[in-house]
Amino acid sequence: MKKLLIVFIILPFISIAQIDNCIITSHANHLYEWDYNDEEIRKYDDHKESITIEVYENYYNIEIDNMSQKVNWYYDSDTDEGNPIYFNQYYSKIVFNRIMNEIFIYSDYDREQEAYTNILVLSELTIKNK
């Protein structure tokens, strides 16, 4: 059940920065959650399952454990460091960190805290042009 929950958490949030017509594979995934008591982000799960993302200009297909989903996304702006920021159809914020070779997916925005309460970090990436 936990694995299935992680699949549904990950599926809506994944994107890649200003790259299309490529295939991205993440070999490590780290889940973080806002701790309201300590008022900080804490890691609560790690996974070594591979996630494959086939990226196109306006959408991507993601496959986890033979489950596939199409997700629409769009470019928003760049961070001060030049890392592109995207938003997907579920209002999650996606940042591709080129230096660290990781994708940060921020979800579940808390208006009171003015912050996202969940972060998924995709790492150990392999990117192949189609």
Residue pLDDT tens, the chain, 130 long: 344 334 434 444 344 445 678 899 999 999 999 888 888 888 988 888 888 989 888 998 989 888 999 999 999 998 999 888 999 999 999 998 988 999 999 999 999 888 899 999 999 999 998 7
Q: Which pTM was predicted?
A: 0.79
How far lies 123's CA from each of 19, 29, 64, in Å? Answer: 17, 6, 15
The domain locations on the chain are 2-129
The CATH fold assigned to 2-129 is PH-domain like (2.30.29)
CA distance linking residue 96 with residue 4, whole number of Å: 25
Q: Which of 90, 101, 106, 123 is nearest to 41 (CA)?
A: 106
Q: Could you tell me if 92 and 107 are in contact, meaning their C-beta atoms sit under 8 angstroms apart?
A: yes
